[in-house]
Amino acid sequence: MLVAVLGGGQLGRMLGLAGIPLGLRFRFLDPSPEAPAAAVGELVVGGFDDPGALEGVARGAEVVTYEFENVPGAPVRGLAERVPVLPPPGALEAAQDRLAEKRLFERLGIPVAPYAPVDGGADLPGAIEAVGLPAVLKTRRLGYDGKGQAVLRVAADAPRAWEAVGGAPSILEALVAFDRELSVLAVRGRDGEVRVYPPVENVHREGILRISRAPAPGLGGAIREAASSYAHRVLEDLGYVGLLAIELFEAGGVLLANEIAPRVHNSGHWTIEGAATSQFENHLRAVVGLPLGGTEARGHAAMVNLIGRVPDPSRLLAVPGAHLHLYGKAPR
């Protein structure tokens, strides 16, 4: 059975590594001929909006999925007329627009930080009034890993922030003095079965995930229940099939949703060795219509993201219980 994947980054590679034992074959679409997923499947080099490349990657595939959420919505909807695209394109579109995402959370009764839309520079003073300061201005589209964001501490920061987001349609969000960041990963099968992984504690630096601890240490029962309930609501509302991540802030015993990722997630790498079934395997089981696997943790796990120079593998692997996942991306 052939699975087509839009995006050939490390997440695609890890999907391939999880799917090969299930007898799945993979074909990836990526703009880069150096895409890390080429090691585990066929690679079509092309843009995500190139009709020929999309046709080429989907030909003969049982299902099309994606490992990168900024693939443009319209061509994906076109593909979905001919071959199942899972998670459904509506989930991709909701995650691509921060305003749509916030409204989705609100509609589902999931708390979010105070926010206001900023369509043009003239909206900014009113948004500051509504949201208060400090706040963070984020572009509605194409923002990830803290890019397309600017923090405002005083009203005089407004022009600089507006310039930093390139004058693009944005939202202004109250800066949350969170106690910690969490994420919850959950998977929904084609038959509607939902399984939720234990929430993870995440540490970001410069907008990039550095460390995850799973299950999140010292998590209160109410917070765990809320995370699971939010995941159920989002999965069911979107008619979702596959793995979904919700990034959350824990602040004073309250859980606020920040954003969703309609794909396997960096904060779920621990599930490869640390959970009954990895997020990658469960995503694939879901999209091809196989029964889901257990999501319980086998014990305690932590993930450290190695950025830039990779330390000597023989030293890393001398740590008892440590596993190394290199994916062959050139340092930038």
Return all residues near 122 (Cβ < 8 A) that are at least 6 apart.
none
Least gap, CB of 163 to ligand AMP (angstroms) = 19
Locate all alpha helices (DSSP H) within 156-293, ordered by sequence. Answer: 158-164, 221-237, 271-274, 279-288
Q: Is 113 in the site for ligand AMP (CB under 6 A)?
A: yes
- Choose between 30 and 173: whose C-beta lies nearer to ligand AMP: 173
Contact range with ligand AMP by CB under 6 A, out of 77-85, 140-148, 158-166, 277-285? 140-148
Residue span 60-99 as binding mask against ligand AMP, x where in contact by CB under 6 A, dash where not? ----------------------------------------
Contact range with ligand AMP by CB under 6 A, out of 40-48, 76-84, 141-149, 236-244? 141-149
* Residues from 156 through 215 that contact ligand AMP (CB under 6 A): 173, 175-176, 181, 204, 207
- Choose between 246 and 284: whose C-beta lies nearer to ligand AMP: 246
Least gap, CB of 129 to ligand AMP (angstroms) = 17
- Choose between 144 and 294: whose C-beta lies nearer to ligand AMP: 144
Q: Is 146 in the site for ligand AMP (CB under 6 A)?
A: yes
Rule CB under 6 A: choose which of 99, 136, 200, 246 binds ligand AMP. 136
Buried b (16+ CB within 10 A) or exposed e, 251-275: eeeebbbbbbbbbbbbbbbbbbebb
Return all residues near 209 (Cβ < 8 A) that are at least 6 apart.
202, 203, 266, 267, 305
* Residues from 245 through 274 that contact ligand AMP (CB under 6 A): 247, 258-259
Least gap, CB of 180 to ligand AMP (angstroms) = 10
Tokens 């009113």 correspond to 126
Choose among 55, 69, 62, 52: nearest CA to 25.
Answer: 62
- Choose between 99 and 176: whose C-beta lies nearer to ligand AMP: 176
Least gap, CB of 154 to ligand AMP (angstroms) = 17
Q: Is 24 in the site for ligand AMP (CB under 6 A)?
A: no
Least gap, CB of 247 to ligand AMP (angstroms) = 6
Count of residues in contact with ligand AMP, rule CB under 6 A: 14
Q: Which residue is nearest to ligand AMP (CB)?
A: 176
Least gap, CB of 181 to ligand AMP (angstroms) = 6
Q: Give SS3 for 11.
A: helix
Query: What DSSP element (H or E) covers 42?
Result: strand 42-45
Joined tokens for residue 307: 């950025």
Q: Give SS3 for 95.
A: helix
Least gap, CB of 314 to ligand AMP (angstroms) = 33
Locate all alpha helices (DSSP H) within the chain, ordered by sequence. Answer: 10-19, 51-58, 73-80, 89-96, 98-107, 124-131, 158-164, 221-237, 271-274, 279-288, 313-316
CB-based contact 135:128 (threshold 8 Å): yes
Least gap, CB of 216 to ligand AMP (angstroms) = 15
Least gap, CB of 115 to ligand AMP (angstroms) = 8
Q: Compute the distance between CA of residue 249 and CA of residue 255 in angstroms, rounded to an integer.
A: 6
- Choose between 173 and 250: whose C-beta lies nearer to ligand AMP: 173
Q: Compute the distance between CA of residue 66 and CA of residue 46 in angstroms, rounded to an integer.
A: 15
Strands annotated E in 128-179? 135-139, 149-152, 170-174
CB-based contact 286:188 (threshold 8 Å): yes
Q: Which residues bind ligand AMP (CB under 6 A)?
A: 113, 136, 143-144, 146, 173, 175-176, 181, 204, 207, 247, 258-259
